Structure 1
Amino acid sequence: MPLSPTPGNKVDVLIIGAGPAGLMAANALVHAGVTVRIVDKKTVPVTVGHADGIHPRTIEILQSYGLGERLQREGTRFDRAAFYNPGPNGGIKVIFVPSSSHKTNPSSREHSAPRQSSPPQRDTLSSSPDIKERPVVPTSIELSDSRSDLVNPDAYPVKVTLKNLDSEDGDEEVVQAKFAIGSDSAHSWTRKALNIGVEGDQTTSIWGVVDIVPDTDFPDIRNWTFIHSNQGTLMNIPREGDLIRFYIQLSSDTDFVNRETGRVDLTKASPDRIMEAAAKIMQPYRVVRVGDVEWWTVYIIGQRVAQTFSVKDRVFIAGDACHTHSPKAGQDSTIRSHPGLTMHSLEAIICPSWYESERLKYAQDLIDFDKKWSKMFSDKPQSEDNFEGVSHEEFLGMLASQSGFLSGIGIRYEPSTVVNNKHQACASKLIVGERVTPRDFVYAANVNPVNLHDVLPSDMRVKILVYAGDIKVEASMKRLHALGENMGTSNSFLWRFGQGAYEKVFDMLCICATKKDDMDFTDVPKFFRSHWSKVLLDDTDMYGRSGGGAYEAYGISREEGAIVVVRPDGYVGVVAPFDHVDDINQYFASFMLEAPEA
């Protein structure tokens, strides 16, 4: 029988599911000082096979939380891809090995590093052991119908009954939450309990996956490799240590699938049988496994998207609860850790409509991409006998055209309340709606180099980047002083939406185009330098190895400058000239609450 909530059973956010998406959301919320509880039905964490293909944008996000170093240290960097097609004698032959990987948009983390993203997230949450509970499952969820409760930021309109599976009596408790997140897998209890439907299809494409240490004479075993053969298709991904991962296309008539249910029957499958298929595809090269299998599975590709990602802006679903797709492009970790589908940066709480409008479209775009990717990956290669097959030019073209989407760094959100491109021309190459492009600068105080992403941590604050131009030019300094006076008034967004102490909501940096030998950081007006680290220069470091050229790269005039607003999720929300601060005021007024009068 459900229990009544007690005063101690209240929490800001209840997260159902402690997989990669749930842990990422928890990290974001804990960093923001939000009280969190995570519950999961599993007794112990899953340590392999989940969200362990890490693309550059994922690493950027994790690094912004201080979580990227372990991934890069323990993972495997790969910069090159290789492509194989059927050979003239029935085996395979290499058709293309570029000297470096296909280049995507600039990233401060220029490589993919396959390694499960969850361990560092669990590490950072280990200091708060009370927020994670296993094995605990929800048995009911209720959401208030009261409009006053739903719009009141201090209300707890979500009520969830939890059951402890370790308890002999099946002890239950009722938790009241301001918000709830269901990150509880493709078979999400949360999604079903909220009657959220899914749209899409299950394909007939069957794939096996194995993580092994190989004994092989295949020359590209440590490269990201795509093999199209007459025996099927295989993708190889190098992993940490000597491990590799094979994705192997299985025959459509395999007995791994129960024909009555259409589901995979793992009692018929085995890693040895998957490796047999891999060996046939890779002929004439030899490949056998050494030692035990690290992990393996068999899956049928499903491509589905939930009809909605939120209910009454109080309960949200994330990760596989939102969508399912093939894992071969490594998009699981990208989309789970991406601010879009994990409530990263608490954007759903600040402005719930962001989550639904931006993230649902992203998920639909992902499924559209996955349909093309999976078909191209599974189709037979082009040959004399199969002229309609996939050519390597088509495959390379797909990779090149979709590289920004694959890596996660080319995602662009459409104009909306929180994406305003009215003044795009003043920063013509720093695209509003895209994540801020990383560049190297130097600190004005000591000329030490720093990447822009490293001074934009995920701390829940909106970043205000003031590109001041060359302040040694009198007109530029005059404009900067005038901007400071304008932004310092009570009508400015800093004070209207700063909740009484604007440094808690906004983080301001001043980036000058002045040469390092021509100014001191103290030359910048006090208003724009709350700390010495808040003044950067677009110039090279002392050795000329990095830095410089950012104004040109961003399309910002060194004479006129620009104001760039970076949302808490790292995406550019609005840009404006110095004399259009009112437009920035209106931008924030469209979705933020004004500070109460003292």
Structure 2
Amino acid sequence: MPISLVRETDVDVLVIGAGPAGLMCANALAKAGVNVRIIDQRPSKVAAGQADGIQPRTIEVFQSYGLAERLLREGNQMHVASFYNPGGHGIQLTDRVPDVTAPTARYPFEVTLHQGAIESIFLDSMKSMGLEVSRPIVPTQLELDHAQMADPNAYVARVVLRHLDPPEGGPSTEVVRAKFVVGTDGAHSWVRKHLNIAMEGSQTDHIWGVVDMVPKTNFPDIRSKCAVHSENGSCMIIPREADKVRLYIQLDSGGCEAVDAVSGRIDKKRMGPHQLLEVARKSFYPYVFETPDEFDWWTIYIIGQRVASRFSVGERVFIAGDACHTHSPKAGQGMNASMNDSHNLVWKLVYVLRGWAGLSLLKTYELERRKYAQDLINFDVDFAALFSGKPRTQVNQNGVSHADFLRAFQTFGGFTSGIGIHYAESAIVHYANQPCAAHVVVGQRMPPQVLVCVADFRPAELQDLLPSDARFKLLVFTGAAKALDTVGAAVGDLTVRFGRAVDVISILPYRQRDFTFMALPLPLRSHWSKVLCDEKDMRGRQGGSAYAAFGIDPQAGAIICVRPDGYVGMVAPLEEVDSIAAYFATFMDSE
């Protein structure tokens, strides 16, 4: 085809891959007004199966984009985890515990919903903003103009795309020039391979099968998350939407008929859902699982635990999600880690594209998310081994005991829920002054808390005042300070310098009888809805413990600076607003 007939377009960001990570990325970029294009090789979204678990922190992230209501309406909630172990003839119930062991979780449960439905939430949101996935398209070339890499406004990436089903008479090839490229194209990522980024780690010998179905069974905990250890192998039950469940079924690594003896790879032609269910029946004995009317979805996989050696090239091409980390799905981290990669990256791209920050800000994506991915793999190595290990019995005293498994389940609860993810000190995380808000951990997400709006006495959830709108939030806990005019003047100076990127929320320790929100200095009351107090609502049911919960002296007050992704960037004494300005100045340009 003559080059003159090839379509050429320019975009700010090209997202390659429309799984959960790519859709999270494209939706958030579009919401921020970025010119974004997203492509995928699949002709349509996932119809069934694949990933299905949303952890508590990820629900909070969905809420920050205005997407949680639909997720909660359509999904199933898991509140309890049940444990079965060998006993008598077959297995018996050993324990039941809360599924989520993260005390500050706003949503103290997991939500399960098949990946296709989760993708639909993003697709519909994107469609409302005029953005749709271009399908079926694959990239064939990616070239970088290294001479212009330092210019954030330059279209440094030239990507050749091939249309697998071009319109009649239309070109089958097009060229996209992009300022940035994000590869969210899965574990076999073309972007990663094209950039020669190595995956570091190894493949285990743990083989598992997965079956989604509406069960016919007398197993009493079929609607609970269940970890089953039996002498015949391990299983896990994940209850799902619409009466479905997912069974994870451990297969014999030594004699699994689905493994090709020569290549060592899975050959799904050798084993199907009926055989998988037959293996599960042995593990669930004496309980019965009848053959369902149909299987909704099934697969077989070998657990691999790998992390990419780097997450970007020159801060112009990035990889996220399964493209840069793979691990066991048993702890429900894959899709959550993937979407939160994008959540971390998007606001940083927005700041660079808007000219608010330099390219150096983008270095913090790899700094934060690669460290998290490495921690995830380290956790997964231990957890997968415990789950796949033989249970401790009278005959096998060296096996995995319930106490060992439960200890791991609860010890890592903050990590698996996403609530305890902690970013290291960097240009956007300053640990200094942590005692000013002793119970708010700098580098972790800002916890939820009910407050009361001073203007109309309405209870308000603090996290709902921290939407993912690409702005930092300054939470000014005024305490009993007498010199609020001075604080207000300093905040006013800060907003003059960085106001496009900063929103101010004031939180009083109490409401005086004759106090109105208009009594605050103007810079501390950007809107009537953003002046709150730490009291119970009019019915005495909600609120009234924020200062104590956050470890803030109600006399001295403090300032908490929350990043656009909901993580605490720094805290400061009330009288040291200048330290917040200095923090911004390390990575952000003044107006």
Task: Report how far residue 34 of structure 1 moved.
Answer: 0.3
The secondary structure found in structure 2 opposite 1:533 is helix
The aligned residue for residue 381 of structure 1 is 391
Distance in structure 2 (CA, Å) of the matches to 1:201 and 1:235: 24
The aligned residue for residue 490 of structure 2 is 486
Note if contact 1:233-1:281 (Cα within 8 Å) is conserved in structure 2: yes
Distance in structure 2 (CA, Å) of the matches to 1:342 and 1:263: 34
Alpha carbons of structure 1 residues 134 and 401: separation in structure 2 relative to 1, 3 Å:
same
Task: Report how far residue 507 of structure 1 moved.
Answer: 1.0
Note if contact 1:83-1:226 (Cα within 8 Å) is conserved in structure 2: yes
Note if contact 1:566-1:573 (Cα within 8 Å) is conserved in structure 2: yes
Counterpart amino acid of residue 558 in structure 2: A
Distance in structure 2 (CA, Å) of the matches to 1:236 and 1:153: 48
Task: Report how far residue 456 of structure 1 moved.
Answer: 0.7
**Is 1:85 paired with 2:85?**
yes
Alpha carbons of structure 1 residues 495 and 526: separation in structure 2 relative to 1, 3 Å:
closer
The aligned residue for residue 541 of structure 2 is 545
Q: Give matches, 1:509-588, under 5 Å.
A: 509-515=505-511, 517=513, 519-588=515-584
The aligned residue for residue 285 of structure 1 is 287
The aligned residue for residue 327 of structure 2 is 325
Alpha carbons of structure 1 residues 279 and 391: separation in structure 2 relative to 1, 3 Å:
same
The aligned residue for residue 358 of structure 1 is 368
**Is 1:410 paired with 2:428?**
no
The secondary structure found in structure 2 opposite 1:539 is coil
Distance in structure 1 (CA, Å) of the matches to 2:161 and 2:96: 53
The aligned residue for residue 234 of structure 1 is 235
Note if contact 1:84-1:95 (Cα within 8 Å) is conserved in structure 2: yes
Distance in structure 2 (CA, Å) of the matches to 1:481 and 1:441: 23
The secondary structure found in structure 1 opposite 2:439 is coil
Q: Give matches, 1:84-483, under 5 Å.
A: 84-89=84-89, 91-98=90-97, 100-115=98-113, 116=115, 117-128=118-129, 130-146=131-147, 149-167=148-166, 171-252=172-253, 253-339=255-341, 343-346=345-348, 349=352, 351-470=361-480, 476-478=481-483, 480-483=484-487
The secondary structure found in structure 1 opposite 2:440 is coil
Note if contact 1:82-1:224 (Cα within 8 Å) is conserved in structure 2: yes
Distance in structure 1 (CA, Å) of the matches to 2:582 and 2:233: 57
Provide, for residues 541-565 of structure 1, a one-character-per-residue CA deviation record: whole Å limited to 9, x for no partner. Answer: 1111111111011111111111111
Q: TM-score, normalised by structure 2?
A: 0.94
Unaligned residue ranges in structure 2 (runs of 5+): none
Q: TM-score, normalised by structure 1?
A: 0.93
Note if contact 1:207-1:248 (Cα within 8 Å) is conserved in structure 2: yes
Distance in structure 2 (CA, Å) of the matches to 1:75 and 1:516: 43
The aligned residue for residue 473 of structure 1 is none
Task: Report how far residue 579 of structure 1 moved.
Answer: 2.3
Task: Report how far residue 289 of structure 1 moved.
Answer: 3.9
Distance in structure 1 (CA, Å) of the matches to 2:290 and 2:510: 60
**Higher mean C-alpha displacement, 458-467 vs 345-354:** 345-354
The secondary structure found in structure 2 opposite 1:132 is coil
Distance in structure 2 (CA, Å) of the matches to 1:371 and 1:443: 47
The secondary structure found in structure 2 opposite 1:446 is coil
Note if contact 2:30-2:131 (Cα within 8 Å) is conserved in structure 1: no
The secondary structure found in structure 1 opposite 2:482 is helix
Counterpart amino acid of residue 429 in structure 1: H
Distance in structure 2 (CA, Å) of the matches to 1:175 and 1:383: 61
Note if contact 1:77-1:111 (Cα within 8 Å) is conserved in structure 2: yes
Note if contact 1:232-1:249 (Cα within 8 Å) is conserved in structure 2: yes
Task: Report how far residue 4 of structure 1 moved.
Answer: 7.4
Note if contact 2:320-2:341 (Cα within 8 Å) is conserved in structure 1: no
The secondary structure found in structure 2 opposite 1:113 is strand
Note if contact 1:2-1:174 (Cα within 8 Å) is conserved in structure 2: no
Counterpart amino acid of residue 591 in structure 1: F
Alpha carbons of structure 1 residues 55 and 102: separation in structure 2 relative to 1, 3 Å:
closer
Counterpart amino acid of residue 455 in structure 1: L
Counterpart amino acid of residue 71 in structure 1: L
Counterpart amino acid of residue 347 in structure 2: S
The secondary structure found in structure 2 opposite 1:355 is helix
Distance in structure 2 (CA, Å) of the matches to 1:421 and 1:24: 29
Distance in structure 2 (CA, Å) of the matches to 1:55 and 1:441: 25
Task: Report how far residue 591 of structure 1 moved.
Answer: 0.9
Task: Report how far residue 581 of structure 1 moved.
Answer: 2.0
The aligned residue for residue 44 of structure 1 is 44
Alpha carbons of structure 1 residues 7 and 482: separation in structure 2 relative to 1, 3 Å:
farther
Distance in structure 2 (CA, Å) of the matches to 1:5 and 1:464: 52
Distance in structure 2 (CA, Å) of the matches to 1:128 and 1:166: 25
Note if contact 1:213-1:289 (Cα within 8 Å) is conserved in structure 2: no
Distance in structure 1 (CA, Å) of the matches to 2:472 and 2:406: 38
Distance in structure 1 (CA, Å) of the matches to 2:108 and 2:50: 22
The aligned residue for residue 496 of structure 2 is 495
Distance in structure 2 (CA, Å) of the matches to 1:438 and 1:241: 30
Task: Report how far residue 337 of structure 1 moved.
Answer: 1.8
Task: Report how far residue 372 of structure 1 moved.
Answer: 0.5
The secondary structure found in structure 1 opposite 2:44 is coil
Provide, for residues 403-449 of structure 1, a one-character-per-residue CA deviation record: whole Å limited to 9, x for no partner. Answer: 01110111111111111011111111111000001111111111111
Task: Report how far residue 287 of structure 1 moved.
Answer: 1.1
Task: Report how far residue 347 of structure 1 moved.
Answer: 5.2
Task: Report how far residue 186 of structure 1 moved.
Answer: 0.4
Alpha carbons of structure 1 residues 359 and 323: separation in structure 2 relative to 1, 3 Å:
same
Note if contact 1:212-1:292 (Cα within 8 Å) is conserved in structure 2: yes
Task: Report how far residue 487 of structure 1 moved.
Answer: 2.6
Note if contact 1:335-1:341 (Cα within 8 Å) is conserved in structure 2: no
Note if contact 2:21-2:342 (Cα within 8 Å) is conserved in structure 1: no
Distance in structure 1 (CA, Å) of the matches to 2:349 and 2:476: 23
Alpha carbons of structure 1 residues 518 and 220: separation in structure 2 relative to 1, 3 Å:
farther
Note if contact 1:142-1:160 (Cα within 8 Å) is conserved in structure 2: yes
Note if contact 1:418-1:573 (Cα within 8 Å) is conserved in structure 2: yes
The secondary structure found in structure 2 opposite 1:21 is helix
Note if contact 1:210-1:274 (Cα within 8 Å) is conserved in structure 2: yes
Provide, for residues 132-176 of structure 1, a one-character-per-residue CA deviation record: whole Å limited to 9, x for no partner. Answer: 200111100011111xx2222221111101111112786211111
Alpha carbons of structure 1 residues 328 and 341: separation in structure 2 relative to 1, 3 Å:
farther
Task: Report how far residue 515 of structure 1 moved.
Answer: 3.0
Distance in structure 1 (CA, Å) of the matches to 2:212 and 2:9: 42
Alpha carbons of structure 1 residues 397 and 347: separation in structure 2 relative to 1, 3 Å:
farther
Counterpart amino acid of residue 82 in structure 1: S
The secondary structure found in structure 2 opposite 1:385 is coil
Provide, for residues 341-388 of structure 1, a one-character-per-residue CA deviation record: whole Å limited to 9, x for no partner. Answer: 762434585520110111110011111111001000000011111111
Distance in structure 1 (CA, Å) of the matches to 2:83 and 2:220: 12
Task: Report how far residue 517 of structure 1 moved.
Answer: 4.4
The secondary structure found in structure 1 opposite 2:430 is coil
The secondary structure found in structure 2 opposite 1:466 is strand
Alpha carbons of structure 1 residues 342 and 24: separation in structure 2 relative to 1, 3 Å:
farther
Counterpart amino acid of residue 70 in structure 2: R
What RMSD in Å do the two structures reach over aligned CA positions? 1.8
Task: Report how far residue 339 of structure 1 moved.
Answer: 4.6
The percentage of counterpart residues that share the same residue type is 47
Note if contact 1:271-1:296 (Cα within 8 Å) is conserved in structure 2: yes
Distance in structure 2 (CA, Å) of the matches to 1:271 and 1:2: 49
